[in-house]
């Protein structure tokens, strides 16, 4: 029996991988990446990076659509994405809320001072609990949340010029049509 154990363990892994492939075919990560789309964003109240005494919650951000960008200093892809946030994303004219995910505050602050800070406000989710509510898989991720606090769009992975043209702009156009 003990000789069969490695095989059984491997078959468990295989079923996990089979599931992973199936999951990927069911969920095109580029189009619909979250069950939270068109649902209210989860409520959160998180301290501001660098000012732990001040907290920002979901309610205080209502009233105007905004982007929420999940980043971390340990995230390699975030370095590649960052120039896009600094330029093209800022030009879209919406506030960008930084969501510093599972990160050391000092590391995040130095990272931002090196690469530049595109964010209007940054909340720190040190233990990643709010991240679980948002279904964060891995940084970077970007959410578009409308004035009523509903998630309208989510991008897993870095923002590229293509993503802005093909996905984010159409999402913004749809948003503008609703609120004349």
By the criterion CB under 8 A, which residues form the site for another protein?
3-4, 6-7, 10-11, 13-14, 16-21, 23-25, 29, 72, 74, 76-77, 79-80, 83, 102, 110-111, 113-116, 132, 135-140, 156-158
CB of 157 to another protein, least distance (A): 5
Nearer to another protein, 34 or 46 (CB): 34
Nearer to another protein, 24 or 60 (CB): 24
Q: Name the β-bridge partners of 71.
A: 100
Nearer to another protein, 132 or 176 (CB): 132
DSSP 86-148: IIIIHHT-S-EEEEEES--HHHHHHHHHHH----SEEEEESSSHHHHHTT--SS-EEEEE-TT
Nearer to another protein, 139 or 168 (CB): 139
Where is 89: in which H helix or E strand?
A: none
CA distance linking residue 110 with residue 117, whole number of Å:
10
């Amino acid at each position: 029996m003990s000789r069969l154990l490695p095989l059984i363990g491997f078959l468990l892994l295989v079923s996990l991988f089979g599931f992973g492939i199936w999951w990927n075919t069911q969920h095109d990560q580029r189009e619909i990446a979250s069950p939270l789309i068109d649902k209210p964003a989860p409520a959160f109240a998180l301290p501001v990076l660098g000012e732990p005494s001040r907290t920002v919650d979901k309610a205080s951000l209502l009233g105007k659509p905004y982007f929420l960008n999940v980043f971390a200093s340990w995230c390699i892809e975030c370095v590649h994405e960052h120039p896009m946030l600094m330029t093209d994303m800022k030009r879209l004219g919406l506030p960008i809320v930084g969501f510093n995910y599972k990160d050391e505050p000092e590391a995040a602050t130095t990272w931002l001072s090196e690469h530049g800070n595109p964010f209007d406000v940054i909340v720190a989710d040190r233990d990643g609990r709010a991240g679980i509510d948002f279904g964060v898989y891995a940084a970077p991720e970007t959410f578009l949340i409308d004035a009523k606090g509903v998630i309208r769009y989510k991008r897993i992975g870095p923002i590229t010029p293509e993503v802005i043209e093909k996905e984010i702009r159409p999402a913004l156009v749809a948003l503008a049509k609703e609120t004349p």
